[in-house]
Structure 1
């Protein structure tokens, strides 16, 4: 979990279980938008990554998951420091899952909150065909 886009984000997973995933990253200039605050796309990407990781861990070797919806609300701007993301399940069903992810700063202030709906794919060989 430390390769590809996760590595670009600088995301470090600190806890991974079927019921909760925690990750953190430190803000740096390339993650900012022109006004010097964290780019909203970074928040969305972290929400998606944490939710997808959590959903995949829960589903296990029964299949794979793919995101079908990501809604992220931005509540407070951030310019520096470490941000923590915590993902918890809202619903885990046979066909779909819904996860909520909360992003907070070092003072435990809520920066953004998102939810991701994921499809459980039990026949992963059919993906992209």
Structure 2
């Protein structure tokens, strides 16, 4: 994965599709989309949460919309909700032609760092 934009308000990552990303029918395996979706959302959520602690994914729901067998996939994540205890991020994955190939959302828990001495 290449990290193109890393920000607490928007994250963009890309992946060049190779044979190792394909399932038996010659199209990108769904797990590749899930990994792109969760990675993009987790980076943005972590950067927004910052030094307050860490974030961990609690749910990843990804829909596969268009088959891809080669080229580059680009995932863009933006926040839907950012609260004290959790965040929800929406992610769109497009192909080289800008066509939507997958869409997902990731819910993340915000974990605080205990104060020193606790």
The TM-score by the shorter chain falls in which range? over 0.9
**Aligned CA-pair RMSD:** 0.9
Q: Does 1:50 align with 2:40?
A: yes
Taking the aligned partners of 2:56 and 2:29, their CA distance within structure 1 comes to 23
**4+ residue segments displaced more than 6 Å:** none
Normalising by structure 2, what TM-score? 0.94
Q: Which residue of 1 aligns with 2:89?
A: 99
Normalising by structure 1, what TM-score? 0.87
Normalized per residue, the structure richer in strand is 2
Aligned residues: 114
Q: Which runs of 5+ in 2 are unaligned?
A: none
Normalized per residue, the structure richer in helix is 1
Distance apart, 1:123 and its partner CA: 3.2
Q: Which residue of 2 aligns with 1:75?
A: 65
Q: Which runs of 5+ in 1 are unaligned?
A: 1-10, 125-129
Q: Provide, for residues 78-111 of structure 1, a one-character-per-residue CA deviation record: whole Å limited to 9, x for no partner.
A: 0010111000000000000000110000110000
Q: Which has the higher contact order (CA 8 A, sep 6+)?
A: 2
